[in-house]
Structure 1
């Protein structure tokens, strides 16, 4: 009789276990489309056995007490998770970089419905017309008009690139906020999970699902590494620096540049802001960004890299060696685009100005004025101050330059720097010599003096944009806008300077520019633009193909993950039928035992 009643416990355990298994299966089905949900699997285990005979070696006459749910498995594969997060971070890096490259191509290829190249071609054509009739005011006016259009279109493209830089800057700010938000979420979930699982009885599955989902999102934004402690806390590092530990989340702070407004992410808890010492989140100087170095991960890094840390111009290419260029300008999509565009504009502008207003070094002038007795020359400026010329000082080639219709020196340059004149006028008073080399005197024997006007070229200053022929401070000479006939076109004897017009037309075909230090092939201005677009398209294709390939890799790894963590409605329905049948079988088992006991009590008693 005792064994009969004990058998009821076996049936009850079957009912309870089947019911709990049905509940777990129903929960899986209810969350089949829930993002981040990980399926739960039931594991059954035997209850304790009662042993009736301890002496026998063959049969100990054990009687089981049924089954119970030993565990509900939270199905995850840590290796697939790490692989997914790594590839997701790389895909996000190259996708963001490609988006920036694609945007640059859009600005270069099309501007307000008309290709920027058209303005370049029209400007070139205007000089072909000037070559035919240099003294025709119509041709001169065409040059000035096309120069204005060229500068306007170039500035529009350049401004568009800057505008997109600030767009990226906004994305960087948003990404930093999102990283910090996800960090706070993970930290909060860490504490909740630790509380739930502290007793060693319950697994906080829903909370773990939410935390894993947050880690997935975080891995797309930044390069993370993480590990879980024995008490269920996940510690996270970003770029090798601790982000989340057992007690808190260390937020990424924003340092805003006062000049540009660009935001740089830095670690507040490692920096000393009062002393101006910042520990940046990203160190681009230590290692090249590459797959081999395993540091090409995270959208935030891609955005910071693509934007750059300033607004670039031709000085970010000119004079740099290959290694320096690759470690600075060449790393950034926006800096590279801005610098190459400005280099082209700078090259065109300075080449044309140097033809219209030719310069020479002051070496011969110093020798002539001092009869070879000195290597330097002190000249007087208009304000009375003195400046010393040396042999390498650039001055206007006043003896060989052309003039405009006013026949005045210095001649007018076509392009001007806002705030800086091309020349500073200086004078030098000296005593000329006669054909015998003796100082000249007048009829009374008094020394004869003459004054020489010297026009000192105001050199470009790499540290001051107002002294550079850059799009940031460039305009068409206002004097020529008012009177186009002031454009140099006459020899100093009054003849039309056809040689000057030929030089201006020939400037466009001279191979004087290289795209960057990595490309040593010299090209003309007309070819430079095509090469610039071609290089940008090549970069874009590489980034796009890499991002596309990684998208497939991420999808492949995620498919493998879903086979482990995903909920299959067909599979869960199969389990539901199995557990329902088990529940029904346990129910029938209890009924049969109940009838047997009732029969024993009523019929045989």
Structure 2
């Protein structure tokens, strides 16, 4: 009787554990398509054995049934680390590639060559002027095409500035999301430690949620993850402690008062009261896969946007090292600077033909000494039909006139001193946003300089304007050592942007395939296979049925013993 009743408990253990295994399998099947879900595997073990008798070669023992030793929650930490690193690297190059695509769209309007056509039309207007510089229709054509040229250039430049603002919004959102994920992971740390502190239960669902959060975080920034013995994870973000089981060190921001651009910083490492900030990203280290400095979407967005709005001074006269460590690091700043350089060179070259300068030294009536200053070259200059001095420039700065009239002491001669560009005030520079077509030329007929000092049409001036477009003395940036003409500059600039896009796009595509391959390897470790789970379900159901039949046999035997004997 005792053995019979004990056998019932052995059968009951089979029923119970088979049922639990079926429940685990059903849970796996229900979450087969759940992102980040880790397959739960049942590991069976024998319960204790009771020894009845010992012999020389073996023991006589009776088992007490079946037990679930563990429900295995398996992950490969090496694959996780590999996946998160390459996931962040793919996000870095993807963000750069999308930025280059958008810049190309701004310039070329997807398929068009409209801006190239504007440049060609502007050049053609000077060709027409060279056929008859004294004809008003040709002069009006130059003014008209100049207006179209500057308006179109300003439109492109403004679109790039607006795109920088959109990137800035993405940066804010990225920072907020990183901080939010940090708090999510920290809260999950607390829950996991509370549940697993007894050493009996594994917080599987919470661990899955935490791993999902870490995977998402890895796409936004470079992370290093380490799990403590208590089940909590510590995360270092860009080589700085970001969170532990107790604290989250949020990313802070500082905002530029002029541009509105935000820069991510580490508040805990900064002296906010003294205005000394520790940036989140260290740009003194080269961006390269070998150094693992090309990881994270947020870093790519900050680099792409840049820290300022570019102009020609970021390119013109700058060494290759300074360019590569400055404007060249940013897709947007380099594109803005290279465009602005082209506009600046075209404008100043044309203005110097219409209103040429020379150098002079003299003393003004107020005693000011001028030494080797640029002044209007009256001897070689042309005038408009109205004879206005000095000769008008085609493009004017919004912040100042081209010349200031200064009277020489003693002789009374008037010098028209050129107002040099002020790098501290963009309105006094010939930048894309700081210039406009001379309003006098829009109002005064034949106001464009075209008559020499004898009052005759100056054919040489017209030919100089045409030849400007063919002179090969301009470079797109410091890395471009092959001089080009105005006609070639724009296409070379676009080709350079396209080359960046090809590099970023190729790397992003290759890394996308690599990330997918790593994810497939991870799924082989913890992913749910419906076919395999169905096989397990059949196996556990058969075990359940066998335990049920076993109990039925024992029950019938006990009934026979009780009622028949």
Could you tell me the TM-score, scaled by structure 2's length?
0.97
Aligned to 2:246: 247
Aligned to 1:584: 545
Pick from 403, 420, 423: which aligns with 1:462?
423
Aligned to 1:135: 134
Aligned to 1:345: 343
1:431-510 paired onto structure 2 within 5 Å: 450-510=411-471
- Cα distance between partner residues in 2 of 1:10 and 1:387: 112
Q: Does 1:417 align with 2:417?
A: no
Aligned to 1:58: 57
Query: In 1, are the aligned partners of 2:74 and 2:525 still within 8 Å (CA)?
Result: yes
1:200-599 paired onto structure 2 within 5 Å: 200-284=199-283, 286-362=284-360, 366=361, 377-380=362-365, 385-391=366-372, 393-430=373-410, 450-599=411-560
Cα deviation, residue 245, structure 1: 1.2
Judged with a 3 Å threshold, the aligned counterparts in structure 2 of structure 1 residues 15 and 111 are, in CA distance, closer, same or farther, namely closer
- Cα distance between partner residues in 1 of 2:44 and 2:367: 99
Instruction: Name the SS for the 2:88 alignment partner.
Output: helix
The size of the alignment, in residue pairs, is 565
Q: Does 1:73 align with 2:72?
A: yes
- Cα distance between partner residues in 2 of 1:571 and 1:597: 39
Aligned to 1:40: 40
Cα deviation, residue 113, structure 1: 7.2
Q: Name the larger-Rg structure.
A: 1
Deviation string, structure 1 residues 214-234 (Cα, Å, up to 9, x no partner) = 111111111111111011111
Deviation string, structure 1 residues 323-343 (Cα, Å, up to 9, x no partner) = 110001001000011001000
Judged with a 3 Å threshold, the aligned counterparts in structure 2 of structure 1 residues 575 and 237 are, in CA distance, closer, same or farther, namely same
- Cα distance between partner residues in 1 of 2:241 and 2:420: 49
- Cα distance between partner residues in 2 of 1:318 and 1:404: 32
Could you tell me the TM-score, scaled by structure 1's length?
0.91
Cα deviation, residue 398, structure 1: 1.9
- Cα distance between partner residues in 2 of 1:335 and 1:468: 18
Between stretches 239-248 and 56-65, larger displacement belongs to 56-65
Query: In 2, are the aligned partners of 1:134 and 1:496 still within 8 Å (CA)?
Result: yes
Cα deviation, residue 240, structure 1: 0.6
Deviation string, structure 1 residues 301-339 (Cα, Å, up to 9, x no partner) = 111100001110000001110011000100100001100
Cα deviation, residue 429, structure 1: 2.7
Cα deviation, residue 28, structure 1: 0.7
Aligned to 2:94: 95
Cα deviation, residue 193, structure 1: 0.6
Cα deviation, residue 360, structure 1: 1.7
- Cα distance between partner residues in 2 of 1:15 and 1:537: 67
- Cα distance between partner residues in 2 of 1:603 and 1:169: 89
RMSD: 1.5
Deviation string, structure 1 residues 150-176 (Cα, Å, up to 9, x no partner) = 000000000000010001011111111
Cα deviation, residue 378, structure 1: 2.5
Cα deviation, residue 602, structure 1: 4.0
Query: In 1, are the aligned partners of 2:40 and 2:72 still within 8 Å (CA)?
Result: yes
Deviation string, structure 1 residues 535-572 (Cα, Å, up to 9, x no partner) = 11111111111111111111111111111221111111
- Cα distance between partner residues in 2 of 1:400 and 1:344: 26
Structure 1: gaps of 5 or more residues:
367-376, 431-449
Between stretches 238-247 and 7-16, larger displacement belongs to 7-16
Query: In 2, are the aligned partners of 1:253 and 1:267 still within 8 Å (CA)?
Result: yes
Cα deviation, residue 77, structure 1: 1.2
Cα deviation, residue 460, structure 1: 1.3
- Cα distance between partner residues in 2 of 1:515 and 1:312: 14
Judged with a 3 Å threshold, the aligned counterparts in structure 2 of structure 1 residues 253 and 150 are, in CA distance, closer, same or farther, namely same
Deviation string, structure 1 residues 169-206 (Cα, Å, up to 9, x no partner) = 11111111111111111111110111111111110001
Cα deviation, residue 110, structure 1: 2.4
- Cα distance between partner residues in 2 of 1:117 and 1:501: 22
Query: In 2, are the aligned partners of 1:407 and 1:492 still within 8 Å (CA)?
Result: no
Judged with a 3 Å threshold, the aligned counterparts in structure 2 of structure 1 residues 425 and 275 are, in CA distance, closer, same or farther, namely same
Judged with a 3 Å threshold, the aligned counterparts in structure 2 of structure 1 residues 464 and 246 are, in CA distance, closer, same or farther, namely same
Cα deviation, residue 347, structure 1: 0.6
- Cα distance between partner residues in 2 of 1:456 and 1:111: 45
Instruction: Name the SS for the 1:543 alignment partner.
Output: helix
